[in-house]
Chain A
Amino acid sequence: MRVAVETTGELGRKMTVAIPADEVEQEITNRLKRLSQTVRLPGFRPGKAPLKIIEAKYGAQVLREVAGQMIENSLREALVQEGLQPAGGPDIEPKSLNRGSDLEYVASFDVFPEIKKLDLQGITVERPVCEVTDDDVDTTLASMRKQRVEWRAVERASGQGDRVRINFHGTVEDEAFPGNEAKDYPVILGESHVLEEFSQGLQGVTAGTNKTITVNFPEGYHGKEVAGKQVEFRVEVLDVAEPVLPELDGEFAKSFGIEDGNVEKMLEEVHANLTREGEEQAARLVRERVMEALIDANHIELPAKLVREEVQRMVDAERSMREHQGASVAEETDPGQFESEARRRVALGLIVYEVVNANDLKPDKARVRARIEKMAGGYEDPQAFVQWYYGDRKRLEQVESTVLEEQVVDTLLATATVKDQPSSFNRLMYGPESTNIER
Chain B
Amino acid sequence: MNDERLFQILLAPVISEKSTRLADKHRQVVFKVIPSASKLEVKQAVERAFDVEVESVQVVNMRGKIKRFGRTPGVRSNWKKAYVRLKEGHDIDFAEGHA
Chain B: minimal CB distance from A51 (Å): 10
A418 within 8 A of B: no
User: Contact between A60 and B99 (Cβ–Cβ < 8 Å)?
Assistant: yes
A193 within 8 A of B: no
User: Contact between A57 and B17 (Cβ–Cβ < 8 Å)?
Assistant: no
- Among the 9-residue stretches A40-48, A107-115, A409-417, the one with 4 or more Cβ atoms under 8 Å from chain B is A40-48
Chain A: minimal CB distance from B98 (Å): 5
Chain A: minimal CB distance from B27 (Å): 16
Additional pairs, 8, CB under 8 Å, beyond known A44-B16, A57-B99: A43-B14, A43-B16, A43-B17, A43-B19, A53-B95, A56-B95, A56-B99, A57-B98
A55 within 8 A of B: yes
Q: What is B's interface to A at a CB cutoff of 8 Å?
A: 14-17, 19-20, 95-96, 98-99
User: Contact between A53 and B99 (Cβ–Cβ < 8 Å)?
Assistant: no
User: Contact between A55 and B95 (Cβ–Cβ < 8 Å)?
Assistant: yes
A59 within 8 A of B: yes
A50 within 8 A of B: yes
Known contacts A50-B20, A53-B20; is-contact A59 B99 (Cβ 8 Å):
yes
Chain B: minimal CB distance from A416 (Å): 67
Q: What is A's interface to B at a CB cutoff of 8 Å?
A: 43-45, 48-50, 52-53, 55-57, 59-60
Q: Which of B17, B20, B96 has a CB less than 8 Å from the CB of A45?
A: B17
User: Which chain A positions have C-beta within 8 A of B96?
Assistant: 56
Interface class of chain B by DSSP: loop
Q: List 8 A-B contacts (CB under 8 A).
A: A43-B15, A43-B16, A43-B17, A44-B16, A44-B17, A52-B95, A55-B95, A60-B99
User: Which chain B positions have C-beta within 8 A of A55?
Assistant: 95
Chain A: minimal CB distance from B4 (Å): 30
**How far does the alpha carbon of A42 sit from the alpha carbon of B70 in the complex, in Å?**
25
**How far does the alpha carbon of A175 sit from the alpha carbon of B20 in the complex, in Å?**
99
User: Which chain A positions have C-beta within 8 A of B17?
Assistant: 43-45, 48-49
Chain B: minimal CB distance from A325 (Å): 56
User: Contact between A56 and B15 (Cβ–Cβ < 8 Å)?
Assistant: no
Chain B: minimal CB distance from A141 (Å): 86
Residue of B nearest to A41 (CB): B15
User: Which chain B positions have C-beta within 8 A of A53?
Assistant: 15, 20, 95
Chain B: minimal CB distance from A37 (Å): 15
Residue of B nearest to A53 (CB): B95
User: Which chain A positions have C-beta within 8 A of B14?
Assistant: 43
Residue of B nearest to A49 (CB): B17
Leading 7 A-B pairs by shortest Cβ distance: A43-B16, A56-B95, A56-B98, A44-B17, A60-B99, A59-B99, A43-B15
**How far does the alpha carbon of A306 sit from the alpha carbon of B20 in the complex, in Å?**
56
Residue of B nearest to A99 (CB): B99
**How far does the alpha carbon of A43 sit from the alpha carbon of B16 in the complex, in Å?**
4
**How far does the alpha carbon of A50 sit from the alpha carbon of B20 in the complex, in Å?**
8
Residue of B nearest to A52 (CB): B95
**How far does the alpha carbon of A43 sit from the alpha carbon of B14 in the complex, in Å?**
9
**How far does the alpha carbon of A389 sit from the alpha carbon of B95 in the complex, in Å?**
67
User: Which chain A positions have C-beta within 8 A of B16?
Assistant: 43-44
User: Which chain A positions have C-beta within 8 A of B95?
Assistant: 52-53, 55-56
**How far does the alpha carbon of A43 sit from the alpha carbon of B22 in the complex, in Å?**
14
**How far does the alpha carbon of A57 sit from the alpha carbon of B15 in the complex, in Å?**
13
**How far does the alpha carbon of A57 sit from the alpha carbon of B17 in the complex, in Å?**
16
User: Which chain A positions have C-beta within 8 A of B98?
Assistant: 56-57
User: Which chain B positions have C-beta within 8 A of A43?
Assistant: 14-17, 19
User: Which chain A positions have C-beta within 8 A of B19?
Assistant: 43
User: Which chain A positions have C-beta within 8 A of B15?
Assistant: 43, 53
**How far does the alpha carbon of A53 sit from the alpha carbon of B15 in the complex, in Å?**
9
